[in-house]
Structure 1
Amino acid sequence: MISNMLKEDPEIKCLTVSRQAENESYLETLQKTINESVHAAIKVETEKWKAELNALKEELKLREREIDALNRKLDRQQQYSRRHCILMFGIPEVERENTDLTVLDTLTKTMKVNLELNAIRRSHRTGRTDKDKPRPIIVKFASYGDKQKVLHNAKLLKGSQIFVSEDLTSVRLAILKEALARFKRGNVWSRGGMIFIKDNGNVFKVESMSDLCKISVTQSVC
């Protein structure tokens, strides 16, 4: 009965409502404070991880540039070791042939390049035997000048089944093939072991696939 009387007392009711409001306000303030603290802590951690991620990305880019530079250096060294070499395609293959003599015969009769036998340091067929077509001959000349004479007269092979090219590294050969697939054949060539591409009136020197992608993104998606 006393309890009921207290509940009915206006002052008690007012005090109770006031305390409930205070409690609710306190809880709201507490919740807000907690939320703000959590959000602030999350923001700090997020910014920290973002900074670390950006640092890792920059480190990765640096390592990629270093690897690219090392790969280019290695490829240049390998190409330099081939500076006296050419590949000759389409020369008929016979059993127990002397490729040095075969090459000299082709140079003299077809390409109008007269060289002595000692101008060829060594030569041999390369690749798997194919009964339907002759394997190419790789030729290493004693001098760079003799090699250039042969390449200069390669135009005389037009219309024949024989053609010659520089002996490129696997990296440069892949670049050459990709360039030929993207650009007109007459706008792609190699000289001195380097790939050149003419695009929109400009001539570009290409050493890597990334170089190729920079020339003209409209030609293909890299």
Structure 2
Amino acid sequence: MGDSSDSEIEFCQNNNNRALNDERQGDEAPHHHIETERADSPLDYYRSLVEALRNRFTNKYDQPVWVSSLKARKRGSTESIASFADALSELARKAFSDLSYNAQEQMALDQLYNNLCPELHYVICKPSEASTQPTLDKHLIFNANPDELKHILKSVSDKLDSLASQEYIESKFKLMITEDLLGKKLKDLEKVIKLQVQKELDNIHKEVKVVSDRVKSIEDVVETLRNKVSDLEVKTDQLQEGNHQLLHKNKTLQEQIDEREVKVKSLEEKNNHLEQYTRCNSVRIYGVADDVSENYKDTCKKVISIISDKLHIKVGNGDFDITHRIGKFRSDGNRPIICKFVQRYLKHEVLKARRQLKGSFIVIREDLTRVNAKLLENTSAHDQVKAAWSDEGRIVALLKNNKKLVVSRLSDLDKVPVGSSGTVIPSTES
């Protein structure tokens, strides 16, 4: 078995050397002669086309990968020799794209020889007349002798040489590839590409239409919102203008109200002064016994009796303009009496002598208006006032610092009084 292996290896090496020598001779002259003579043949056109496509689409950096793939390619357990040889030829063309066609086939043949097992018998089946390509089938037969194996391998080598010959390849290319066939394939490829491109364009058009519809709806919404915003801006401007006018009117009305309030306040004060002036001859007497059947004559007699007997001032019926009770009779109290003198000096005399009524529960005061009476009450209750009274309708306050102040309004008490003790400070409003 060892002698057989050595002989087979020697035979393969001699055969490889012979094939390489033939390849070199074929590349130097005959091959060039064939290409020169057949420069315009369809095969040359196909080769130039294949070379142009290879230069266009082949990456030179992938060549080491294809070389490694060629060296590592092994024949499968169920793979035929013909399929294995075709696969090696394809890898050789990719791995050695810069070599000639015959050199590429020689590289594939060397790899085929390296993968043949010397312990197997191979039988070459000739193709039938109707077949366009010879095939090689392998049959696993063990216990082969070296002489028969050499003969079989030589037959295989001769057959592979014939299959790799230039004439055979040209004949097969003439049968398989023509300009019409290539043009038809290109047209079919063009149709497929056009259909695919048209399909993609239709999809793009549909997507664009959907996007366009969405954009249109968004634009409509935006336009609607823009119109609403514009309307709101117009209404806002109108409201602002109306608000500005209302503010101006309000300001004018407020000024008018303030002015009228000043006038009303001034008129009220004038009216109060006038009303108080009409009461300059009148006094009010409190604490006089009341009777349900009392009339104005009885009231006048009681007043004359008080002034004459208690104040020691001689008066008669002719000294009074009017005397009467105020309000309705009440059993739990005495109604006050208004007494209006004909002459003012009698009022002054009565007011000067009223201290003599101390301890008798009878009180005589000036007849004040409602405003002045309320002012006197509030002034008496103020925390800075020691005592308060009225003088000719004016309210006088004795402060806790023993200074006197004429009060026209309650806010006068918040002012810092000026003047020495015992003096009356006239009000600015008096």
TM-score (norm 2): 0.40
1:129 corresponds to which residue?
A: 329
Asked if structure 1 preserves the Cα contact closer than 8 Å seen for 2:380 and 2:397, the reply is no
Asked if structure 1 preserves the Cα contact closer than 8 Å seen for 2:322 and 2:341, the reply is yes
- 1:149 is the counterpart of 2:349: yes
- CA–CA separation in structure 2 for the residues paired with 1:140 and 1:78: 14
- 1:162 is the counterpart of 2:362: yes
- 1:120 is the counterpart of 2:317: no
**Paired residue secondary structure (1:190):** strand
Distance 1:31 1:76, change over 3 A: same
1:111 corresponds to which residue?
A: 311
- CA–CA separation in structure 1 for the residues paired with 2:237 and 2:348: 71
1:1-222 matches, within 5 Å, as 5=201, 42-93=239-290, 95=294, 98-112=298-312, 114-117=313-316, 118-182=318-382, 186-198=386-398, 201=403, 203-206=405-408, 211-213=409-411, 215-216=413-414
Equivalent AA in structure 1 for residue 348 of structure 2: Q
Task: Name the % identity.
Answer: 22
Distance 1:146 1:7, change over 3 A: farther
Distance 1:37 1:124, change over 3 A: closer
Structure 2: any 5+ residue segments left out of the alignment?
1-194, 416-430
Greater relative CO (CA pairs within 8 A, separation 6+):
1
- CA–CA separation in structure 1 for the residues paired with 2:383 and 2:311: 28
CA RMSD of aligned residues (A): 4.1
TM-score (norm 1): 0.69
Asked if structure 2 preserves the Cα contact closer than 8 Å seen for 1:204 and 1:215, the reply is no
User: In proportion to residue count, which structure has more strand?
Assistant: 1
Asked if structure 1 preserves the Cα contact closer than 8 Å seen for 2:320 and 2:339, the reply is yes
- CA–CA separation in structure 1 for the residues paired with 2:244 and 2:270: 39
Distance 1:121 1:35, change over 3 A: closer
- CA–CA separation in structure 1 for the residues paired with 2:404 and 2:276: 25
- CA–CA separation in structure 2 for the residues paired with 1:3 and 1:183: 103
Equivalent AA in structure 1 for residue 243 of structure 2: T
**Once structures 1 and 2 are overlaid, which stretch shifts more, 181-190 or 166-175?**
181-190
- CA–CA separation in structure 2 for the residues paired with 1:150 and 1:185: 26
Deviation string, structure 1 residues 159-193 (Cα, Å, up to 9, x no partner): 22000111122332233333334457743211112
**Paired residue secondary structure (2:328):** coil
Asked if structure 1 preserves the Cα contact closer than 8 Å seen for 2:323 and 2:340, the reply is yes
Deviation string, structure 1 residues 45-66 (Cα, Å, up to 9, x no partner): 4333222211111111112222
- CA–CA separation in structure 1 for the residues paired with 2:244 and 2:199: 57
Distance 1:183 1:110, change over 3 A: farther
**Paired residue secondary structure (2:261):** helix
Equivalent AA in structure 1 for residue 410 of structure 2: L
- CA–CA separation in structure 2 for the residues paired with 1:193 and 1:49: 45
Equivalent AA in structure 1 for residue 254 of structure 2: K
User: In proportion to residue count, which structure has more helix?
Assistant: 2
Equivalent AA in structure 1 for residue 365 of structure 2: S
Distance 1:34 1:137, change over 3 A: closer
Asked if structure 1 preserves the Cα contact closer than 8 Å seen for 2:385 and 2:399, the reply is no
Equivalent AA in structure 2 for residue 86 of structure 1: V
Distance 1:107 1:3, change over 3 A: farther
- CA–CA separation in structure 1 for the residues paired with 2:397 and 2:242: 50
2:76 corresponds to which residue?
A: none
Equivalent AA in structure 2 for residue 187 of structure 1: A
Specify the structure having the higher radius of gyration (Cα).
2
- CA–CA separation in structure 2 for the residues paired with 1:30 and 1:132: 81
